[in-house]
């Protein structure tokens, strides 16, 4: 399971982490309230160990403990805290009844009572090996959670699902849950593009890369505004407005290179990161190319809008390092440039 410091479930491999409300909504469960006894008992055991204080730097080191559940079964627990510097106050907890993964070792101990003390030592060695494997896999899950908090795309490192999702136990379920959370946290659900958090992280990483490598090539950020999207929603319906956003996103993605990033930044705004440009003229050429691509009549909303209906967009440009030294100033400059172009486009002719 993955829980926040106060016990609110982020994801869990067994039992529900949400409960339905009367108003047809949902809210997250606290681990203490989980209908699954193992989930609640494992969280209580970890809290009793005192792992809950963000100031405890050692808490980020994976640890193990064991306890007896309500049926008297021995349960082995591995747990760790996501490093607080990542901005996520999360605990990763994996609890497995000892009988589930030490059955072979227990059988060996029974045989050792008949055969010899050497068999006992061998069986104990197998048990420690299994515990070591669980601890290593917990480290992999902690690294996956760190990537989620760091805003890295799933393909930037070995995906946790590749390493662990093939397992048919709680650890495999948790691995798949973390992989799904990573995808959801970085993706805009309407367009399938990167979302606001992902693009800001990528711009920050690109600035850091530029400073570390001393790269002489500048890069550019573009802010794209779909003009009067509210009017489109009002005239043709929100379904048509959503189709407009999806097609604009597709055309932006098709209009840049494979290494560039396109994200939906807000309701009617997109942000593009052009990984490298030769100079400002190169960035302006990219802007004009995108404006031309977006000026063509829409194809996917012919059923909801008049034939040939075109979408008006405005695109602003900011080039690093001339227009800003951080992601906030670059995006602010690009938005200011975009607004200035809008005013110029709608200004009355002199």
The whole-number pLDDT of residue 309 equals 60
pTM for the whole structure: 0.53
The token duo for 215 is 């790269």
CA atoms within 13 A on the CB side of 108: 15
The whole-number pLDDT of residue 168 equals 65
Rounded-to-integer distance, Cα 225 and Cα 342, Å: 9
The whole-number pLDDT of residue 288 equals 95
Neighbours of 135 (CB within 10 A): 15
The whole-number pLDDT of residue 224 equals 96
The whole-number pLDDT of residue 130 equals 60
Rounded-to-integer distance, Cα 22 and Cα 25, Å: 7
* CA distances (Å), origin 342, targets 79, 309, 338, 339: 53, 20, 6, 5
Eight-state DSSP code of residue 74: E
The whole-number pLDDT of residue 157 equals 43
CB within 8 Å of 297: residues ≥ 6 apart = 307, 308, 309, 310
CB within 8 Å of 62: residues ≥ 6 apart = 78, 79, 80, 135, 138, 139, 142
Break the chain into its structural domains and give their ranges.
2-186, 196-346
The whole-number pLDDT of residue 124 equals 67
CATH number of 196-346: 3.30.70.270
Neighbours of 244 (CB within 10 A): 23
Would you report the helix, strand and coil content of the chain in percent, each value rounded to 5? 50, 20, 30
Give counts: helices (H), strands (E), the chain. Answer: 11, 11
Eight-state DSSP code of residue 255: T
For 309, the 3-state DSSP assignment is coil
Rounded-to-integer distance, Cα 171 and Cα 161, Å: 11
pLDDT tens, per residue, the chain with 350 residues: 888 888 888 888 887 777 777 766 778 888 888 888 888 888 888 888 776 554 454 567 888 888 888 788 888 888 888 877 777 778 888 888 877 765 565 666 666 666 776 656 666 676 666 666 667 666 666 666 666 555 554 444 455 555 565 566 676 676 666 666 666 778 899 999 999 988 998 999 999 888 887 767 789 999 999 988 888 888 888 888 898 899 999 999 999 999 999 999 988 999 999 999 999 999 999 999 999 998 887 775 655 556 556 678 899 999 999 999 999 999 999 999 999 998 887 776 54
Of 169, 165, 168, 74, the C-alpha closest to 127 is 74
Sheet holding 63-68, edge to edge: 9-11, 2-4, 90-97, 74-81, 63-68
């Amino acid at each position: 399971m993955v829980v926040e410091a106060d016990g609110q479930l982020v994801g869990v491999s067994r039992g529900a982490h949400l409960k339905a409300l009367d108003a047809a909504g949902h809210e997250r469960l606290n681990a203490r309230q989980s209908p699954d006894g193992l989930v609640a008992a494992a969280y209580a055991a970890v809290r009793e160990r005192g792992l809950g204080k963000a100031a405890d730097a050692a808490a980020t080191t994976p640890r193990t403990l064991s306890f007896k559940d309500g049926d008297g079964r021995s349960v082995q627990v591995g747990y760790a805290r996501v490093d607080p510097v990542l901005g996520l106050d999360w605990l990763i907890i994996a609890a497995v009844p000892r009988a589930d993964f030490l059955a072979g070792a227990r059988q060996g101990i029974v045989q050792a009572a008949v055969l010899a003390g050497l068999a006992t030592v061998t069986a104990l060695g197998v048990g420690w090996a299994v515990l070591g494997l669980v601890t290593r896999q917990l480290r992999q899950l902690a690294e996956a959670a760190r990537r989620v908090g760091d805003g890295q795309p799933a393909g930037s490192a070995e995906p946790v699902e590749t390493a662990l999702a093939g397992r048919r136990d709680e650890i495999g379920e948790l691995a798949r849950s973390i992989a799904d959370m990573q995808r959801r946290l970085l993706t805009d659900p309407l367009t399938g593009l990167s979302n606001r958090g992902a693009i800001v992280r990528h711009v920050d990483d690109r600035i850091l890369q530029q400073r570390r490598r001393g790269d002489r090539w500048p890069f550019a950020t573009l802010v794209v505004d779909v003009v009067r999207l509210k009017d489109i929603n009002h005239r043709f319906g929100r379904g048509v407005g959503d189709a407009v956003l999806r097609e604009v996103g597709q055309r932006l993605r098709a209009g840049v290179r494979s290494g560039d990033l396109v994200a939906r930044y807000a309701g009617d705004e997109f942000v593009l990161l052009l990984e490298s440009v030769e100079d400002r003229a190169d960035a302006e050429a990219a802007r004009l190319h995108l404006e031309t691509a977006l000026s063509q009549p829409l194809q996917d909303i012919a059923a909801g809008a008049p034939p040939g209906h075109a979408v008006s967009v405005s695109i602003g440009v900011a080039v690093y390092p001339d227009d800003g030294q951080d992601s906030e100033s670059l995006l602010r400059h690009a938005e200011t440039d975009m607004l200035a172009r809008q005013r110029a486009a709608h200004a009355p002719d002199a």
